[in-house]
Structure 1
Amino acid sequence: MPAVGAEPPAGQTKTRPNIVVVVADDMGWGDSGTFGNDLIQTPNMDRLAAEGVKLTQCYSACGVCSPSRSAILTGRTPYRNGVYRHLSGKHDAHLRDSEITFPEVLKTIGYETCHVGKWHLLSAQQFNNPDFPQPDKQGYDYYMFTQNNAEPSHKNPDNFVRNGVPVGPTEGYSAQLVAKEAIHWLTDLHDPKKPFAMTVWFHEPHSEIATDPRFEALYKGHKNSKYMGNITQMDNGLGMVLDALDALGVSDNTLVFFTSDNGPVPAYGGSSGGLRGNKRSQYEGGIRVPGLARWPGKIEPGSVSDVPVIGSDVFATTLGIVGVPLPTDRTIDGVNMLPALQGKPVARKIPMFWRTHVSGPNERVAMRIGDWKIVGDETLTQFQLYEIQQDWKEQNDLAKQMPEKTEEMKAILIKLWADIAAEGPHEWWEHERQKPSKGGKLNY
């Protein structure tokens, strides 16, 4: 692994915090009671909010799952780290061994590491294939994962692989199976003398949805009872992990961060909470997601922060709180978001950036600086401008009213994209360049 900077002082090793990053799959900003849904019960998300901070402007790094997950691990915007698209079918793209993940860094200073649940950083033909980097090559001591979704559904999935060995048929529902595996590692396999970093990536509420009757029954009579119950099913899995941390006596020294990989799918019942757009969109509904964090003694219980944060901040945050400098041989797009978790501003040298690859001439690019957000089409010739704090539903395009501001943001966006494209493995996406709409020229 390339050098990541100097080893922190030896005295810090005794107080290094544990880190747990929990990710829901396709959960929208409006898909929980915690974030204002009047029907969906999420008591364990409520618990995290009561014991920590609710992040009202938390973003995924992309409008689809594989890229946003790659950014969580590497701190690098997806086109820069190479996972530019949803990894389905046969594609070259994958999370490369040359990328540095935060578990990989933490292992070098004595952490034990574990991943349970969805992975989706390899395509189907690369999954559990030793010719491509599996989680053990990305810094994990132990893993139980799936390539993408729980199959054939959340009920009795049969596609888990544990440390390279297929698990085979299971009994139960995905969230509880994932949580039980996390608890098994924590209680039976992890060395309690060492700090740990764990990623728990639930499959819910992604299709194919299957919901335990005990959770679906909470919403009897509602047309979306299965979906709403599926959110509560995921929340229950979250609670199982939180209970295990309490039982082991490590909650007080553990940073728990909860988020989603992208916005919702309305066809299955998902809600963006009034935001414009949904999954695959660069509008707020596709990328603004639930965000919660708890770290007793460091984060004020019951607090709310409207400071914008993004999934790619997780990498810099984990390294920052353990005292390890960021890598100096590559661009890290994210920043240490601990100030934001405490309701304070964060300083960003690189703006928040999104580009989502979808089929057809519908790819959109977006960038946010402060309260200003610019959205561009796939040709980088058509632009919209929004003042997000004042217009969080993105109903008032200010591009024509404020041409100077639009040009300023446009120039920054185009320069940033050129920098990202030059650093990333552009040969992976060049063959998938989309046809320009309305005769425009693609600015790849």
Structure 2
Amino acid sequence: MKRIVFSMMLLFGIHAAYAQVQNRPNVLIIYTDDVGYGDLSCNGAKVIATPNIDRLAQNGINFSNAHATASTCTPSRYSLLSGRYAWRKKGTNILPGDANLVIPTDITTLPKVFQQAGYVTGAVGKWHLGLGSQSPVNWNKEVTPGPREVGFDYSFIFPATADRVPTVFMENQQTLGLEAKDPIAVDYHKAFPGELTGKAHPELLKQPNDPRQGHDGHIVNGIGRIGFMQGGKRSEWTDEELGYVFNNKALSFIDESLKKQKPFFLYYAIHNIHVPRMPGTEFKGKSKLGYRGDVTLEMDHSVGVIMNGLKERGLLRNTIVIFSSDNGPVLNDGYMDQSAETAAALDHRPGGIYRGGKYSAFEAGTRVPFIVQWPAKIAGGKKSDALVSQVDLMASFAAMLNVKLPAGEFTDSRNYFSTLTGRSRKHRDFVIEQPANSALCIIKDGWKYLSPSKGPALMGAVNIETGYSTADQLYDLNKDPGERTNLAGKYPQRVQALKALLEKVMAE
């Protein structure tokens, strides 16, 4: 009899925990890497199918005019987590793997907003925002500051990107699998004595690199990386395991939040589809688009694993899921993996109807997939052309949670929670875009102004049009989404108005 009573109490306790968690929505941001607007079948891709992501769109809102703040990864991630444009702070462009933390630890951040509201917060996947405060970083002990100091209770990451050393997992800011007798050292200038590099030993590579782009340093798993590394042999991961490990860690974090009877905020920064594209073996050769297509399938699979995990735990209905990307697409970005050739042969257009791509000032650089699902509050199958920016997630969720942002603390983030959840058509008055050379662009009322700048019109190594020009550029995105006709000469007053607005925002 006692066993029955205990079992009933345990069962009641589990249900009570779930009920308590469900009082407030869980929040999951699935942040992918280098995924273009046209890479998803729900956005028009014909050569490849992304059924799990499509299901998010079918059950939520698919935004067609959403923007990352930059066309490269570090500044976009900085803006999403800090609520501030990255160009306001020096040193926030693409970081090397041994960079120090660029997000100040004394400011309000998106995860800190959730902490203030009583959430358990976690970061899983790619980080690329720097670690520690001293150079060189000591990878052989806990590295601080890091994710914890910017608001994450738990983190399981790799430090930068998969094509940069150190190629290790870090859990709560400590390197996994490290042996004291084999400490890690990292250098971004010269190889260590006896180190095998892709440049010196191309015969060891299972994925050839493009010699123009610097992926010929330290060899891990038969792939050359940017930078040089010594030691930590048992700590190095293999590319094929990344998706499985990160999925498991994401679900484990969710389970831990249930044990704590608290709602969760999870920033799941999927490493796909960034180079080097080396999918889990079960996905190799499964698409028609080379390894880039294969890792797109793996990315979609990861979304399915996490969504099924939410469903199995009874959390799907009251979890807000946001799916997006840090910047636009790139085909050849350092490795010769047939991505450009297969896309051309099958007319796959990763940027959709938009011009440019990663690094670019043109629209494909920052106009990214953006889907919001919340079954408890959002009717499925909606589409929205509202102008939205990832920088607004901090203020929007602060408003949802009734967390007041400090009055004296400047941020660029604004509350558009009602727009993100489909209850309003109100959209941003303007968005600012940051290309790789930081010559800013601004969009307002469908008009886009590109600041004059120096630089090549075409980035030859990646075959992407940059949008760089020494002349003013103005495009009517409503009539000319492909940015083919420069109207700056025809509408000089509009150019001056947008230029003045941009200068005003920059001076804030």
Q: Identify the match of residue 161 of structure 1 among 165, 170, 182.
A: 170
Q: Does 1:244 align with 2:300?
A: no
CA contact (8 A) 2:120 2:265 kept: yes
Q: Partner letter of residue 344 of structure 1?
A: S
Deviation at residue 387 of structure 1 after TM alignment:
1.8
Aligned to 2:442: 367
**1:140-171 Cα shifts (integer Å, max 9, x gaps):** 11110111223689xxx951100122123556
Q: Partner letter of residue 363 of structure 2?
A: E
Q: Does 1:345 align with 2:420?
A: no
Distance of aligned partners of 1:13 and 1:245 in 2 relative to their CA distance in 1, 3 Å threshold: closer
Alignment partners' CA distance in 1, 2:121 and 2:418: 25
CA contact (8 A) 1:115 1:142 kept: yes
Deviation at residue 261 of structure 1 after TM alignment:
0.3
**1:155-195 Cα shifts (integer Å, max 9, x gaps):** xx951100122123556532222111001121246435211
Q: Identify the match of residue 314 of structure 1 among 377, 393, 408.
A: 393
Aligned to 1:79: 87
Where do 5+ consecutive residues of structure 1 fail to align? 1-11, 420-444
Aligned to 1:279: 358
**1:38-88 Cα shifts (integer Å, max 9, x gaps):** 012211101100110111111111010001001111111112355530111
Equivalent residues in 2 for 1:119-158, closer than 5 Å: 119-122=127-130, 125-126=136-137, 132-150=144-162
Give the structure with higher Rg (CA).
2
Aligned to 1:395: 484
Aligned to 1:331: 410
**1:393-414 Cα shifts (integer Å, max 9, x gaps):** 1112111111111111111112
CA RMSD of aligned residues (A): 2.6
Q: Identity of paired residues, percent?
A: 29
TM-score (norm 1): 0.83
Distance of aligned partners of 1:249 and 1:261 in 2 relative to their CA distance in 1, 3 Å threshold: same
Q: Does 1:41 align with 2:49?
A: yes
Q: Identify the match of residue 28 of structure 1 among 36, 40, 49.
A: 36
Aligned to 2:117: 109
Alignment partners' CA distance in 2, 1:226 and 1:294: 29
1:252 is paired with a residue whose SS is coil
Distance of aligned partners of 1:127 and 1:336 in 2 relative to their CA distance in 1, 3 Å threshold: farther
Distance of aligned partners of 1:127 and 1:98 in 2 relative to their CA distance in 1, 3 Å threshold: farther
1:324 is paired with a residue whose SS is coil
Deviation at residue 89 of structure 1 after TM alignment:
6.2
Q: Partner letter of residue 288 of structure 1?
A: R
Deviation at residue 234 of structure 1 after TM alignment:
0.8
Deviation at residue 23 of structure 1 after TM alignment:
0.6
CA contact (8 A) 1:83 1:95 kept: no
Equivalent residues in 2 for 1:188-203, closer than 5 Å: 188=256, 190-191=258-259, 193-203=261-271
Distance of aligned partners of 1:73 and 1:170 in 2 relative to their CA distance in 1, 3 Å threshold: same
Deviation at residue 333 of structure 1 after TM alignment:
1.7
Aligned to 1:408: 497
Distance of aligned partners of 1:127 and 1:107 in 2 relative to their CA distance in 1, 3 Å threshold: farther
Distance of aligned partners of 1:151 and 1:396 in 2 relative to their CA distance in 1, 3 Å threshold: closer
TM-score (norm 2): 0.73
CA contact (8 A) 2:361 2:450 kept: yes
Q: Identify the match of residue 187 of structure 1 among 249, 255, 274.
A: 255
Where do 5+ consecutive residues of structure 2 fail to align? 1-19, 177-234, 333-338, 341-348, 455-468
Deviation at residue 231 of structure 1 after TM alignment:
0.6
Deviation at residue 382 of structure 1 after TM alignment:
3.3
Alignment partners' CA distance in 1, 2:95 and 2:142: 17
Aligned to 1:263: 328
Q: Identify the match of residue 276 of structure 2 among 205, 208, 216.
A: 208
1:198 is paired with a residue whose SS is strand
CA contact (8 A) 2:111 2:152 kept: yes
Aligned to 2:466: none
